[in-house]
Amino acid sequence: MSELKILYPRPVVVMVGLRQVSIRPVQLRHFEVFGQAAGGLIAVINTGTPAAVYAYAGNGSALSALLRTCTNLSAWRIRRMPTAVALELMIKVVEINSGFFDQALVKAASQLAGVMSPKA
């Protein structure tokens, strides 16, 4: 039964100011939104210019969509959040969900290796 924690990862709680925010794993129905937002963020971060990162965050649509689907914050709170804080939270959401994916892939690879190995 301990394997169910991997199948259903628990939300990770982070502090944003004085508020606890739960970062949830991406659900399949939101995976496209997550992929677009995370891919755009990673591409902009790779440019290395802070101006490009803030311009991406200033667009707001991908940023707020990702925060709405992967956190327990309301749309009202997300709209009123300072851009720098929202951007940092978005980076944390991508990082934590990447960890969920990595953990699942490692588990699947080890299980497949056990199935594929010759029986002695």
Q: How far apart are CA 18 and CA 21, in angstroms?
A: 10
Query: Average pLDDT of the chain?
Result: 82
With 0-12 / 13-18 / 19 or more C-beta atoms within 10 angstroms meaning exposed / middle / buried, residue 63 is buried
- So where are the chain's domains? 10-116
pTM: 0.75
Q: Which of 12-16, 71-75, 98-102 has the lowest mean pLDDT?
A: 98-102
